[in-house]
Every structure is written in structure tokens, then in C-alpha cells.
Copies of this chain bind each other. A is one copy, B any other.
Amino acid sequence: MAGAGTGPVPVVLDAMGGDHGPDVTVPAALAARREHGVPVLLAGPGEELRRRLAGAEAEVEVVHAGTVVPMDERGSGAVARPDSSLMVGCAAARERGGAFVSAGSTGAVVAGAVRTFGRAPGVLRPALAVALPTPDGATVLVDAGGTADPTAEMLAQFALLGAGYARAVLGVADPSVGLLSIGSEATKGNRLVRAAAALLPGVPVRFHGNVEGHDVLAGTVDVVVTDGFTGNVVLKNIEGCVRTTLELAARAGIADAGRVDEVARLYAAETHGGAALLGLAGTVVAAHGSSTPAAIAKACAVASGLASAPDARPIAGAVR
């Protein structure tokens, strides 16, 4: 990998991923370069991308890819398209020692990334990490949807992966880690959580103990560990809850209805910079399909920073 000390790690951006394709990714690539200082390569149809880049071809390199993975494609279908912008982009990122960013279907991005980069040594399964805003900072939610049915050992590894992310992206020196459960006692929870609660005190992270649903956005801990099913439900529940809360507040005359988006945006991709896929032998960030250019530019900056952090892919085999 290109690493710290040699300038920002380059990022390959899937030009065709996301709901709006190059309409969003081309300005995003330019913004990542100009506003975040991150060199970006665009993977997609070469001729079209160069035309859209107009006079800025010197700022953004293009890697040609002849086809596209449709947004509704399943993971297995994605990896079967080696000439797609997703797979060509992943391969280019690996060859150049760079990070990869896509706003395509998360399932397809995960499958393509796992196929291209493989897992980091000792890592059982990858996990998605998202940084959520809290009143006084941010909390990393991991796994936000990478692995729907993990084992307790995988959850224990997610704690390590999430702590590495909190150090690298949020700059927290010694992150505290909570296990999401339905009671603060280690005896509470489902079978998976009770087994993980028994493992976590032996893992080299600052384990806070179990936390509950109301702790996720309260800043109780720096990292909240959960399985990818619960994590994805929680992440999307927050999106919906923010919107409904502000609507109800506006109707009650407590909030300014016209400015609801200002708070909703705090929870959107613009801020958290997408979901980082942790545990791979490479750095991959999945941005939301409806991301704006600013959101994708931020995701590129996060990916570049994560790729240059030595402990973003932590202690292989620390949890067996």
C-alpha cells in the first residue's frame, strides 16, 4: 500500500455506482481532489468520462470499464462482471495500492471488494462501520450490514475493527467499546450477544460492557458492536426516526418545518462519509446510493485516510 508519508493514498471511485452515476461521481472526484487533496481515479466508460471531465482531465485519471453492475444486482452477480466499473475499479485500487469507493448496491460492493482484496489475515468476516453523530461527537456502529449472521468470535473481532476505525477516522486515542444488547448486564441478550459478552473482556479493546438501543446516539461509548442484521436495522431506523421526529416536532409548532433537512443531513452520508468495509486486505468505502457529490467526496477522503492509518486493519488473529 501507498502509506503515510508519501502523500494521500489515491482513491479509485466507481463512476457508475449510485442512483445518479457520472452526474454525481464526476463532480465528486473533482471535489475530492480540490477540497480534500485526495487524488481520485474514475472507473467507468472512458470516452464518456473524459468528455464529462472537459478541461479537467489532468486532475482525474480515468480507468476504462465497459459495463455496469445494476443497482438491484446481487453480490454474486456483481463479481461475475469483471468488466464492470465496480470490478475494474476494485482491481485498479488493488494494483495501485489505493482505496476504493462506490455508491453502488452495498451487497455488490461488499461482494466485489471481498473477491478482489480478500480478508485481512486472521479476519473471519468483514464488517461495515458507520460513524453516527451524537450530541458531543460521533459513535461508530459496527457491523452496520456486512455480515447478517455472525458468530460471537466475529462480533469480538468487530470490536477490534471498530476501535481501529475510531482511532483512524475519528481520532479517538483509546476508544471505548460497547456491545449492543437489551440490558446492561452480561447475562442479558440473545444467545449470540451472551456468548460475545463472555469473549469481549479478553479482547485487547477498552470494553465498556453491554449498551442498549438508547445508547447508540447518546455518546455512551465510542464504538457500538452488533451483528450486521441488527446494525442495519438500527442504522435505517435512525434515518426514519430523525425524519418522523422532526415532522412531528414541526407539526407541534416546535420545529421549523422548512429546515428539517438541516438536521436530517447530520445523519446522512455527507457527514459520516459512507460505510467503511473493515477487515479486508484493502480499504473500501460504500457510499449511499443517493449520495451527493459532497458526500462522495467526503467518502473518498475517509477512504484515503483510513488506508493510510496503520491500525485500521487491526491485530490479525487477536480473536480466534
Contact = CB atoms under 8 A, between A and B. Distances in A.
Contacts of A149: 190-191
B232 A230 contact: no
Interface string A148-179: 11000000000000000000000000000000
B249 A249 contact: yes
Interface stretch (A114-122, A212-220, A292-300): A212-220
Contacts of A218: 240, 243-244
Residue among A182, A218, A239, A251 facing the most chain B CB atoms (10 A cut-off): A182
A205 interface: no
Given A229-B230, A234-B237, A244 B135 contact: yes
Interface in A164-208: 180-183, 189-191, 193
Nearest to A217: B244
A287 to B, nearest CB: 17
Contacts of A216: 237, 240-241
A139 to B, nearest CB: 10
Contacts of A135: 244, 247-248, 251
Interface string A248-272: 1101101110011011001000000
Contacts of A247: 135
A88 interface: no
Contact of A263 (B215, B237, B245): B245
Contacts of A212: 232-233, 236
A182 to B, nearest CB: 4
A5 B230 CA distance: 44
A226 B237 CA distance: 13
Contact of A236 (B193, B213, B242, B256): B213
Contact of A254 (B181, B191, B241, B256): B256
Contact of A252 (B180, B190, B230, B263): B263
A133 interface: yes
A71 to B, nearest CB: 12
A134 interface: yes
B241 A217 contact: yes
Nearest to A249: B263
Contacts of A180: 233
Contacts of A190: 148-149, 227, 229
Interface of A: 107, 133-135, 145, 148-149, 180-183, 189-191, 193, 212-218, 226-230, 232-249, 251-252, 254-256, 259-260, 262-263, 266
5 contacts: A133-B248, A212-B236, A213-B235, A252-B259, A252-B263
